Amino acid sequence: MLKERKMGKKVTVVGAGFVGATCARRIIEKDLADVVLIDIIEGLPQGRALDLMESAPIEGYSAQIIGTNDYKDTKNSDIVVVTAGIARKPGMSRDDLLQINAKIIKDVVENIAKFSPNAILIMVTNPLDVMSYLAYKTTKFKSSKVIGMAGVLDSARYRFFIAQALGVTPSLVNAFVLGGHGDSMVPLPRYSTVNGIPITQLLDIKKINQINERTKNGGAEIVGLLKTGSAYYAPSASVVEMVKSILLNENRILPCCVFLKGEYGLKDIYCGIPVRLSKNGVEEIIKIDLTKEELESLKNSSEAVKKNIKKLNI
């Protein structure tokens, strides 16, 4: 078990694969919280946790991490990051993972609800929008405490591609990508800026459309290059940005996959939109003005998610 520190924050990361292990590393290296890394494979989380702790004297962090195969060790977590599941392989879509990962996620979140009933869930497993909905329905947590990660990741990819096109530092770019985490996601050039200047004034429409398409296929591009795995550096960084906003009560406005109750004309669905993240999870759903075309694209994206939810008979 973890020894209690003054910080008192505890984050569980479910899944000790590349995404999960990298999430755990980023969290403890930033001294955000103590971490429990859990996986069904005996020895894997324990080995990775020990390896990370042995680097603490060099890196200088004081956060602790343990690896385990027992959900009892995750008890009373403040946040649980769920990365468990099968990763995409070349030629697979996120939706191809639906039935396989649904079984895994249902078991995972049932255990989380049992041992950490007050936790905030951050879902990472694909297809992310559907897995977020499944987790919400299974745990019966408040919808404000079950949040999907994808919007931060999709927007980060968008920001990088914009920065690359303009030859500027990526951190100078702000951008939003809304909708489902898939081919129907909705990049918003009007809300994407470089030092406050909209990219619509810096790039021609042809280049913007090219960047939009590359963003939509950002994950598939990496899967195609790796051949035997999928992205984990950018996804883990995206998770930790959300974790930080929650643990430090930063109230940051980030695009996240959340449960909608009529906002943007969408109901009983998980979809990516801007929200304010605080210690309570989703503190506020931000309503931004969308054009008729943008709103239609967002609705079309949500319809693709609904089709997959129906396949699970939740």
State the distance between the two ends of the chain, measured CA to CA, in whole angstroms: 35
What is the domain partition of the chain in residue ranges? 10-148, 151-312
Q: How confident is the model at residue 192 (pLDDT cuts 50, 70, 90)?
A: very high
CA distances, 257 to each of 21, 179, 270 (Å)? 22, 8, 6
Residue 88 has pLDDT above 70, yes or no: no
pLDDT digits (tens, 9 = 90+) for 195-239: 999 999 999 999 999 999 999 999 999 999 998 888 999 999 999
Q: Could you give the CA distance from residue 272 to residue 126 in angstroms, rounded to a whole number?
A: 14
Where would I find the H helices in 167-286?
Answer: 205-216, 218-226, 233-247
Segment 165-185 shows an average pLDDT of 92
Half-sphere exposure in the Cβ direction for 286 (13 Å, CA): 18
Mean pLDDT (the chain) is 94
Q: Of 128, 99, 160, nearest to 242 (Cα)? A: 128
Q: Could you give the CA distance from residue 231 to residue 154 in angstroms, rounded to a whole number?
A: 12
Q: How confident is the model at residue 97 (pLDDT cuts 50, 70, 90)?
A: confident
DSSP state of 190: G
Q: What is the pLDDT of residue 240?
A: 98
Q: What is the DSSP string of 5-25?
A: -SS--EEEEE--SHHHHHHHH
Q: How confident is the model at residue 189 (pLDDT cuts 50, 70, 90)?
A: very high
Contact 67, 50 (CB under 8 A): yes
Q: Of 78, 11, 80, nearest to 49 (Cα)? A: 11
CATH class of 10-148: alpha beta
User: Under DSSP, is residue 113 helix (H, G, I), strand (E, B) or coil?
Assistant: helix
Lowest mean pLDDT: which of 90-99, 160-169, 269-278?
90-99
Q: What is the pLDDT of residue 6?
A: 45
Instruction: Give the burial class of 115: count Cβ atoms within 10 A of its Cβ; 0-12 exposed, 13-18 middle, 19 or more buried.
Output: middle
pLDDT digits (tens, 9 = 90+) for 103-115: 999 999 999 999 9
pLDDT digits (tens, 9 = 90+) for 266-289: 999 999 999 999 999 999 999 999
Contacts of 114 (CB under 8 A, 6+ apart): 71
181 is catalytic: yes
- In degrees and rounded to multiples of 5, residue 43 shows phi and psi of 95, -30
Q: What is the pLDDT of residue 4?
A: 47
Segment 83-91 shows an average pLDDT of 78
Segment 77-84 shows an average pLDDT of 97
CATH number corresponding to 151-312: 3.90.110.10
Q: Could you give the CA distance from residue 65 to residue 82 in angstroms, rounded to a whole number?
A: 16
Q: Could you give the CA distance from residue 191 to residue 174 in angstroms, rounded to a whole number?
A: 8
Residue 294 has pLDDT above 50, yes or no: yes
The model's pTM is 0.93
Angle 40-138-239 (CA atoms, 0-180°, nearest 5)? 60
Would you give the distance in Å from CA 38 to the centre of its chain? Answer: 18
Single out the catalytic residue among 9, 26, 48, 181.
181
- Percent of the chain topping pLDDT 70: 96
Q: What is the pLDDT of residue 5?
A: 46
pLDDT digits (tens, 9 = 90+) for 13-72: 999 999 999 999 999 999 999 999 999 999 999 999 999 999 999 999 999 999 999 999
